[in-house]
């Protein structure tokens, strides 16, 4: 279970920050949390009552190995990261040894952190790979980071799909819209997909005329650069390789007044597309998705529309009969912070071993 009251306090604090700083802080933490969840193994069921189990010793060090096809990868650049309730970042760096082995001493625990999770990354052939999450009660031995061979074959590129796409629409001033998106990209192969000649290998289209595009290291599993995602025309493209498993792209943009109807074209098979429209939004109608229910976050209400098994040529359009109401930028910051912080906390904590 997520400590919702703790998350709400964090949201209120974050909502007071300027909007650009808000997203600069949220995106890296959420991207790291998503990466941990995507690659962490599910906890084993408890063998008996938790009350009878001895207390787990504090995690003091991590010893692991970078492997590819079962063999150690020597000389890989390895970094240790920590994600806590209010901070995240790198806390150590080393290189893997002759058999791919590496060791980190962990920094002292932060007594003020509501939760703390560690994970390691390895850079192999220019691609950053993530290891599973480590909670303070987990053993720090036999940690493993799996690396993969790469491919740029057309069939491999075509195999990339969108497992889930969440689009959040906030009515702005004089008919404009503020939009935030989370796109979950899935690579079903056992190889990392790279673009031929360094070209972008994956992208999604957004409505034409978008402005104020923002992102900050949003692609979980990417490197430390600030250009992991780029807006090229009406496409948001990933400028980094797509590693096996699931990866998330997070970005936001603004649609100026006069964008009616708003068209959301799809370029890949999409398993689930969910559209959230913040209320009040007078006269809004959505075509191409089914109206499911309402959704509430931080005291605001959204109409939620959902579609599944959408083909690449499917089209989703949004129309409205009246201009959007004015919105305080601090309220927008609070709404988006609430959605992203709650999602990030859930991703980071849901693998925590059960306790009594």
Burial of residue 198 (number of CB atoms within 10 Å: 0-12, 13-18, 19+): exposed
- pTM of structure: 0.69
Compute the average pLDDT of residues 303-327. Answer: 77
pLDDT tens-digit series, residues 190-203: 999 998 777 888 99
Task: Identify the band that residue 163 occupies on the pLDDT scale cut at 50, 70 and 90.
Answer: very high
CB atoms within 10 A of CB 283: 9
The pLDDT of 290-319, averaged and rounded, is 86
Higher pLDDT, 282 or 228: 228
Question: Which band of pLDDT confidence, cut at 50, 70 and 90, is reported for residue 259?
Answer: low
User: What is the per-residue pLDDT for 260?
Assistant: 63
Report yes or no: 317 and 7 within 8 Å, Cβ to Cβ.
Answer: no
The answer to which of 113-117, 171-175, 274-278 has the lowest mean pLDDT is 171-175
- Token pair 């923002």 is found at 214
Residue 131 banded pLDDT, cuts 50, 70, 90:
very high
Per-residue pLDDT band for 103 (boundaries 50, 70, 90) equals very high
Task: Assess contact for 234 and 207: CB atoms under 8 A.
Answer: yes
Strand partners of residue 250: 182
The more confident residue out of 53 and 174 is: 174
293 or 124, which is more confident? 124
Sketch out the chain's domains with CATH numbers: 4-38+154-349 (2.60.40), 56-149 (2.60.40.10)
Query: 2-11, 73-82, 252-261, 316-325 — which is least confidently predicted?
Result: 2-11
pLDDT score, position 84: 82
Which of 33-42, 114-123, 279-288 is predicted least confidently? 33-42
Could you tell me the pLDDT band of residue 218, with boundaries at 50, 70 and 90? very low
Secondary structure, 3-state, the chain: CCCHHHHHHHHHHHHCCCHHHHHHHHHHHHHHHHHHHHHCCCCCCCCCCHHHCCCCCCCCEEEEEEEECCEECCCCEEEEEEEECCCEEEEEEEECCCCCEEEEECCCCCCCCCCEEEEEEEEECCEEEECCCECCCCCCCCEEEECCCEECCHHHHHCCEEEEEEEEEEECHHHCEEEEEEEEEEECCCCEECCHHHCCCEEEECCCCCEEEECCCCCCCCCCCCCCEEEECCEEEECCCECCEEEEEEEEEEECCCCCCEEEECCCCEEEEEEEEECCCCCCEEECCEEEEEEEECCEEEEEEEEEEECCCCEEEEECCCCCCCCCHHHHHHHHHHHHHHHHHHHHHCCCCCCC
**Whole-angstrom distance, CA of residue 283 vs CA of residue 320:** 5
What average pLDDT does range 212-224 have in this prediction?
58
- Please name the residues in contact with 270: beta carbons below 8 A apart, sequence gap of 6 or more: 161, 162, 164, 165, 307, 310, 314
Rounded percentage of the chain residues whose pLDDT exceeds 70: 69
> Is residue 264 scored above 50 in pLDDT?
yes
For 147, 174, 352, the CA distances from 190, given in Å and listed in that order, are 10, 49, 27
Which of 10 and 128 is assigned the larger pLDDT?
128
* pLDDT beyond 90 at 321: no
pLDDT of the residue at 351: 43
Does residue 253 carry a pLDDT above 80? yes
Residue 12 has pLDDT above 80, yes or no: no
The per-residue pLDDT for 164 is 94
Range in 3-12, 122-131, 134-143 with the lowest mean pLDDT: 3-12
Q: Percentage of residues in the chain with pLDDT exceeding 90?
A: 30
pLDDT reading at 337 higher than 60? no
Q: With bands split at pLDDT 50, 70 and 90, how would you rate the model's confidence at 20?
A: very low
Mean pLDDT, the chain, whole residue set: 74
């Amino acid at each position: 279970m997520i400590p919702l009251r703790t998350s709400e306090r964090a949201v209120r604090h974050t909502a007071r920050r300027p909007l650009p700083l808000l997203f600069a802080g949220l995106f890296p933490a959420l991207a790291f949390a998503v990466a941990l969840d995507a690659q962490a193994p599910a906890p084993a069921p408890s063998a008996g009552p938790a009350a009878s189990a001895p207390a787990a010793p504090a995690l003091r060090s991590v010893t692991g190995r970078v492997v590819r096809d079962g063999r150690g990868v020597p000389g890989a650049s390895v970094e240790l990261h920590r994600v806590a309730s209010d901070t995240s970042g790198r806390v150590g760096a080393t290189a893997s040894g002759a058999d791919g082995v590496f060791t980190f001493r962990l920094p002292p625990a932060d007594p003020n952190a509501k939760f703390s999770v560690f994970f390691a990354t390895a850079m192999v052939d220019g691609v950053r790979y993530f290891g599973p999450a480590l909670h303070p009660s987990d053993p720090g031995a036999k940690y493993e980071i799996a690396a993969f061979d790469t491919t740029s074959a057309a069939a491999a590129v075509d195999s990339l799909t969108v497992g889930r796409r969440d689009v959040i629409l906030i009515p702005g001033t004089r008919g404009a819209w503020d939009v935030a998106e989370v796109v979950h990209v899935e690579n079903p192969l056992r190889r990392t997909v790279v673009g031929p000649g360094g070209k972008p290998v994956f992208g999604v289209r957004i409505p034409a005329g978008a402005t104020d595009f923002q992102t900050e290291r949003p692609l979980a599993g990417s490197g430390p650069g600030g250009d992991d995602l780029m807006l090229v025309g009406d496409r948001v493209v990933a400028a980094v390789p797509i590693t096996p498993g699931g990866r998330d792209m997070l970005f936001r943009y603004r649609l100026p007044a006069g964008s009616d109807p708003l068209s959301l074209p799809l370029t890949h098979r999409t398993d689930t597309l969910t559209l959230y429209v913040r209320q009040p939004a007078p006269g809004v109608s959505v075509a191409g998705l089914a109206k499911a229910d309402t959704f509430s976050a931080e005291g605001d209400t959204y109409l939620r529309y959902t579609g599944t098994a959408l083909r690449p040529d499917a089209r989703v359009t949004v129309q409205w009969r009246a201009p959007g109401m004015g919105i305080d930028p601090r309220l927008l910051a609070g709404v988006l912070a609430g959605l992203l912080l709650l999602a990030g906390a859930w991703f980071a904590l849901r693998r925590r071993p059960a306790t009594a």
